[in-house]
Amino acid sequence: MPQRKKAKTSWRPKQMHTKHRPGPEEEWRKRLPKNDGSNKNSLREDQVGITEYVSRGAGFTGVVKSRFSDFHVNEIDLDGKVLQLNDLTVPKPAEPTLDEEELAAARQKFREIITDDTWNKMSTLAALGAKDPAAQPIDIIVTALDKTERGQIHDMLKTLYSSKLVGSTVTEVKDSTEERIIRVMKPKYNSSSEKRTRWNFPGEYVHFLVYKENMETSEAASRLASRIGIHPSNVNYCGTKDKRAKTTQKFCIKRRLPSQIVTAAQKSYVRIGNFTFSNNVLKLGDLKGNRFKIVLRHVNGDEVEIQQALENLRDKGFINYFGLQRFGNHADIPTYEIGVALLKADYKTVAELILKPRSNDLPFMAEVRKKWWKERNSAAAAAMFIPNEFIEKKLLDGLAKYGENDYAAALRKILFRYHATCSCFTLTPFKVLCSTVLHRDV
């Protein structure tokens, strides 16, 4: 009998998909065109008063910030130290320590106040895990004790059991009689009260360095604040740094665990480290300056003239103008106009300037602005966003929550600084001063 041929099959073993599948936010980001800084509708230097030079040499041309990696900014603190992110260690709270004699004395004093049965129960509870079903609260009746004596019990709890047990004073009514009780239990570390009682660091403020790339300082602060659960105004720093750059600067936040800040940073596209602690908050201007490393590309000019220009820069310096980033990215609606409206408390104009359609918008943002401008339906416009970090999204959410006409309440969801307006007011008379005095005297 002839041997039967095996039928061919197209079956193949099912392949495992090992490649990363981008989520909706990553797919959304792919649609964003890269910002190469060449937008023709951006502000020009002469529009904000940046026109003068220290010397009248021929000079030369070149391209600055062709890539954001061409521009490095490191903050210089008040001690003259150039800040560099080089320590990623996450500090842990210090556990209070007592020597054996102090510990024995505290135990003896505590046992004079509570019964042996309560002492044994507390020792057992301290040894249990927080999620153990047997870890039930223990009540110590303190009705006969005054406030000072109750405070001593709380202090001894912290001394003897530190992070293992906590106590809270409660009042209960039993048989028409009020009883004051100290309830001892395992700590719940996610509660705000525990964050306060467990603060064991040498200062009220956590100071740390932030390294960011191609991101506004205010955006980095807003992202961290959002993920920590605080208002952006509670994230403090000494000054804003360029967006199209690699920058390092110091931030500080009050009484937030370093581990919590690190987790927030991982989701905010920034890197942080070099933690320190202080009782002083950072304020705008608390720095000596910034160190810049700048790459010039496509340099075009005579070698002698280039050398002369560099010598002039070394010997005479330069006019330290505010950068264009201070005034925003849109020539149609510069940020100093928004600042003027803010100073006038004209909140409707502020909101409309932020959400008004403009000529150089990204395609998705143009759709959002057009929809809101035409329909004034903030909830529908906000739903067109996927990431939440845009101020337009925060403003639309505020209008949807507080009402389409409650502009003041909606604007409170955004952190505003008045730098652009102040800078513009400064540069206008400065331009006149430079034109009439500078070239005559230098």
At 441 the pLDDT is 40
Q: Among the ranges 132-136, 153-157, 345-349, which has the highest mean pLDDT value?
A: 345-349
Four-CA torsion 421, 423, 429, 435, nearest 10 degrees: -140
At 69 the pLDDT is 95
At 272, the amino acid letter reads I
Residue range 21-44, pLDDT digits in tens: 444 444 444 444 444 444 556 778
Q: Decide which of 34 and 127 is more confident.
A: 127
Q: Decide which of 288 and 42 is more confident.
A: 288
Q: Is 70 among the residues known to form the active site?
A: no
Overall average pLDDT of the 209-230 stretch: 95
Task: Name the pTM for this structure.
Answer: 0.58
At 14 the pLDDT is 38
For 70-93+204-291, which CATH class? alpha beta
At 425 the pLDDT is 53
Overall average pLDDT of the 74-82 stretch: 97
Rounded Cα distance, 199 and 176, in Å: 39
Catalytic residue among 117, 139, 175, 242: 242
At 97, the pLDDT band (50, 70, 90 cuts) reads low
Mean confidence (pLDDT) of the chain: 81
Q: What is the DSSP letter of 436?
A: I
pLDDT greater than 60 at residue 369: yes
* DSSP, residue by residue, 75-113: EE-TTSPBP---------PPPP---HHHHHHHHHHHHHH
Domain boundaries, the chain: 35-55+321-442, 70-93+204-291, 100-197
pLDDT greater than 90 at residue 112: no
At 188, the pLDDT band (50, 70, 90 cuts) reads confident
